[in-house]
Amino acid sequence: MLRLAALLGLGAAVAGCSNDPYFTNPVTNIYSLMFSGDKAPSAVTQQQILQTLSATELPVAFFNVDERNSQTLLIQIEENGPYKTFATVTRQSIVMNHGMITGTRGLGGDLMSTEEEALLDTVRARRTGQVSYVQRFLTSEGVTETVTYRCGVEPDKPVEVAMGRIRTNGQEMIAACESPDGPPFVDYYVVDAGGEILASRQWLGGLTGYVAMHMLQR
């Protein structure tokens, strides 16, 4: 955690990083408009992003919680098969499977686990389909609540991805989900040709709401 703190610490950016032709600040690019609505991220500065990307070769993600107008950077700290755990210096963490968020810790009302295989496979294949999707949340009473959704998935337009050090082409995917046991939501994903989710706006439950994720380095 001390190493992680050093990587994410605020301070002067490494000299010359702002001139890096392969760097794009996710706070100001088109994806911030696509995923963050009218709230312009302010907590994560370009200086902090430059410093972090220059200090590590590990995967780095930008994370924005819409309802809290809260942004942070996360660095990958663990890998278990397709599941990758990213964490902040304050020990908040998210787990992603090929870029789809499947768990959170330390956010409050955490997403404890999901049954995401059908949804993830359809999104990664960039195809149309009707799939089931299960989310499990920890309530304030310490009880795990399970919500089963039915989701309609379809591709939208192709996009050019320019986020942090990532340069590639992607496909926007939309998943509209409904359940008799929970509120409806619409998730958005940007998927590359290899089936990796590079950006998303994903519903993480009533307490957290929508979050935006951008991969900056992988």
4, with CB counted inside 10 A (0-12, 13-18, 19+), is: middle
Q: Regarding predicted confidence, which is higher, 20 or 167?
A: 167
Give residue 198's pLDDT band: very low, low, confident or very high (50, 70, 90).
very high
Give residue 163's pLDDT band: very low, low, confident or very high (50, 70, 90).
confident
pLDDT in tens, 200-216: 999 999 889 999 999 99
Question: How confident is the model at residue 40, as a pLDDT?
Answer: 43
For the residues 47-62, what does the mean pLDDT come to? Answer: 91
Question: How confident is the model at residue 47, as a pLDDT?
Answer: 85
Q: Regarding predicted confidence, which is higher, 72 or 19?
A: 72
Residue 17: pLDDT over 70 = no
Question: How confident is the model at residue 100, as a pLDDT?
Answer: 98
102, with CB counted inside 10 A (0-12, 13-18, 19+), is: buried
Question: How confident is the model at residue 6, as a pLDDT?
Answer: 40
Question: How confident is the model at residue 36, as a pLDDT?
Answer: 42
